[in-house]
């Protein structure tokens, strides 16, 4: 089994039995994006579609990626119920063959992107953003590494906002790079209280 198919199998099992998340868009996405002029948006790791549906409902032309067909089916139902159109793609970021510079917004909310020596995932994120577009990466900042490893998950194996920030060059303007309190009362991520938020705008 390749790493890609292993990841897909994991996430299919993760979503199979019942809805996992709250069904509400991520508050940090809403805060950073609600004042922007709508354009094209990429929702990476869209899960059950709350962010993608919110974006589409606010005028964005949304492409949403996830490796789990179960999650995408649930997301598509959510979109139909909301009366919005979203382009759903079953793929991981690196495998998706996205057109360079295609998106005015690239949103990665708590993404499970594997680290590689060549920084494939980070470079794919940056490459997807159009000139003038915004990259928004949010991750939990309060993960206990020892506790996570005891549960079979090593945070060091996955891309963090700092990894993306390290690749920003003069083509980018750093808008936000900070930790913020998180208040979520329902869904699988409700146990986390601090997020690391990275927002950067591509200049060229």
> What is the β-pairing status of strands 103-109 and 61-66?
unpaired
| pLDDT tens track, the chain, 204 positions | 444 565 777 777 777 766 665 678 998 899 999 999 999 999 999 998 999 999 999 999 999 999 999 989 999 999 999 999 999 999 999 999 899 999 999 999 999 899 999 999 999 999 999 999 999 999 987 765 666 566 666 778 899 999 999 999 999 999 999 998 876 555 455 555 789 999 999 999
The domain that holds 170 is classified in CATH as: 3.40.50.150
Q: Which domain holds residue 154?
A: 3-202
CB 196 within 8 A of CB 160: yes
Report how far residue 201's alpha carbon sits from residue 176's, in angstroms, rounded to the nearest whole number.
10
Q: Residue 2: what pLDDT? A: 45
Q: Residue 159: what pLDDT? A: 95
- Residue 46: closest CA among 18, 26, 16, 17: 26
How many domains are contained in the chain? Answer: 1
């Amino acid at each position: 089994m390749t790493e890609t198919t292993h990841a897909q199998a994991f996430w299919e099992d993760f979503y199979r039995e019942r809805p996992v998340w709250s069904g509400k868009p991520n508050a940090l996405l809403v805060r950073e994006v609600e004042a922007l002029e709508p354009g094209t948006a990429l929702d990476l790791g869209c899960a059950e579609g709350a962010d993608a549906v919110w974006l589409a409902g606010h005028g964005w032309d949304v492409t949403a990626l996830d490796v789990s067909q179960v999650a995408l089916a649930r997301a598509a139902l959510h979109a139909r119920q909301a009366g919005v159109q979203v382009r759903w793609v079953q793929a991981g970021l690196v495998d998706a063959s996205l057109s360079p510079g295609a998106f005015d917004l690239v949103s990665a909310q708590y993404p499970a992107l594997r680290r590689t020596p060549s920084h494939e995932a980070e470079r794919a994120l940056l490459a997807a953003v159009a000139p003038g577009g915004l990259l928004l990466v949010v991750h939990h900042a309060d993960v206990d590494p020892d506790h996570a490893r005891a549960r079979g998950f090593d945070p060091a194996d996955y891309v963090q906002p700092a990894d993306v920030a390290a690749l920003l060059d003069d083509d980018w303007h750093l808008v936000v790079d900070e930790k913020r309190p998180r208040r979520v009362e329902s869904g699988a991520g409700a146990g986390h209280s601090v997020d690391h938020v990275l927002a950067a705008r591509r200049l060229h």
